[in-house]
Structure 1
Amino acid sequence: MNFFKRLFKIGEAQANSALDSIEDPIKLTEQGIRDMKGDLTKSLESLAQVKALAIRAKNETEEFAAKAEDYQQKAMLILKKAQSGDVKPEEADRLAKEALVKKEEATAQETRSKADADKFDNSVAQLERNVQEVKQNISKWENELKTLKARVKVSNATKNLNKQMAEIDSSSTVSMLERMKEKVQQDEALAEAYGDIADSGRTIDDEIDKALDTKNISADDSLAKLKEQMGLGGDKS
């Protein structure tokens, strides 16, 4: 398949720019497969024709063999009739010779037909090998085409992704991240400052009450006084 040798050379020559020119090898491969399918159709037609010739030659061989045998039997019957007196010896010899001549002619035709049949059989075998090879090549290249198309999709996706990544301004992205980081730090510091201001607004009494938890102490005293008024004093021993 010289076509595919040329196809591979084209692929090697375009290796450095495969992403940009990958469609051309695909089109060439598709055309090559179409050509092989056309060759397969022609090979099948030729195979059918040669098979028909082989069948015909075999049939003729059998027919000539049957004729030769028939003339042989006729010659023998004529000679027997001469012995029985049904046919004159001279006439019997003449007719028997004619029958044997016909037998030889049929035998010669049988030999030629047998040679033709053998030749056609060899041609059929060769054509069948060619057909099988073309079928295998078609199957092989259809699989290769599927793989090539899949590689195109992956290559295009990778190319587009890399292009997008290349178009991103890395310096502006880093700058934006730095500004965001600075703002977060500023907000954290501001929150801490507001906390300090809130703590600084408390009086000393607030700090003392917070430390002693005066609300709970006052509530305990009030509860004790209420129990005393109601005569509900504590446990007496």
Structure 2
Amino acid sequence: MGILSRFKDIMSSNINALLDTMEDPSKIIDQYLRDLESDLGKVKAETAAVMAEETRAKRELDECSAEVQRMQDYAEKAVKAGNDDDARQFLSKKKLQTDQETSLKHIYEAAAGNAAKMRQMHDKLVADIGSLNARKDSVKAKIAVAKTQERINQMGSSVAGVQGTMSAFDKMEAKADRLLDQANAMTELNESAAKDDVGDLAKKYDTMQTVDVEDELAALKAKLGE
């Protein structure tokens, strides 16, 4: 029954507190579960053996009790038949069987107590393993989310770098726009200056044309004697 001592800590352990102190929950939970599964196999084997002892003790007790009753029945039949000597023999055998029955009752009660403890331990261990399995999935899910968040943060840093590059590009584009606007303005100014030159030239000829008309008018008047 050394296994009872071995699993005493398991029966009284606080698994939630154990999980909370884990540095690497995922790996430690897997290892702890492997250990518990191994222990569960031993507990099952020991529980089966103890339950077999209980069954055997119960069977021996029942057989002894049946024999006590059988001797009682034979003693009654012997008395009815007027055979007191036979009745004494049956009652003597009954007494021996009754003493044996008392001893077997103690053995059975002890075996039943051990079997109850082992069943309790087995059920507790199964429940603890189920609890750990449920928490294991939760812990691993949290770890997966944390790793995903870490990757997102890393990508966020990369995107931030791209944003910086975009900002520099925007500045370069703005500078190019200013240069283009300046060039367009200069072109416009040059075109305006060219138009002004032509205008001055046209005025020169306009003046000449006006002089020609006046001369022609004077000549016409002279011709007409005006």
TM-score, normalised on structure 1?
0.60
Aligned equivalents of 1:49, 1:175: Cα separation in 2: 75
State which of 120, 124, 127 in structure 2 corresponds to 1:133: 124
2:168 equivalent to 1:178: yes
Q: Which residue of 2 aligns with 1:53?
A: 53
User: Taking structure 1 as reference, are residues 94 and 10 closer, same or farther at Cα in structure 2, changes over 3 Å only?
Assistant: same
User: Taking structure 1 as reference, are residues 58 and 173 closer, same or farther at Cα in structure 2, changes over 3 Å only?
Assistant: closer
Identity %: 23
User: Taking structure 1 as reference, are residues 74 and 175 closer, same or farther at Cα in structure 2, changes over 3 Å only?
Assistant: closer
Q: Which residue of 1 aligns with 2:67?
A: 67
Q: Which residue of 2 aligns with 1:96?
A: 87
Letter in 2 for 1:39: D
Contact kept? 1:71, 1:99, Cα under 8 Å: yes
2:34 equivalent to 1:43: no
Q: How many correspondences in the alignment?
A: 182
Q: RMSD of aligned C-alpha atoms?
A: 3.6
Letter in 2 for 1:177: S
Contact kept? 1:3, 1:32, Cα under 8 Å: no
Displacement of 1:29 in angstroms is 1.9
Aligned equivalents of 1:173, 1:81: Cα separation in 2: 115
1:19-38 mapped onto 2 (5 Å cutoff):
22=24, 25-38=25-38
User: Taking structure 1 as reference, are residues 182 and 123 closer, same or farther at Cα in structure 2, changes over 3 Å only?
Assistant: same
2:143 equivalent to 1:152: yes
Deviations 1:102-154 (A, max 9, x none): 10111122222223222222222222221121111111212222233223333
Letter in 1 for 2:94: K
Displacement of 1:161 in angstroms is 4.4
- In structure 1, stretches of 5+ residues that fail to align are 12-21, 83-91, 205-237
Letter in 2 for 1:45: A
Aligned equivalents of 1:121, 1:183: Cα separation in 2: 90
Contact kept? 1:72, 1:100, Cα under 8 Å: yes
1:75-86 mapped onto 2 (5 Å cutoff):
75-82=75-82
Aligned equivalents of 1:34, 1:100: Cα separation in 2: 59
User: Taking structure 1 as reference, are residues 40 and 94 closer, same or farther at Cα in structure 2, changes over 3 Å only?
Assistant: same
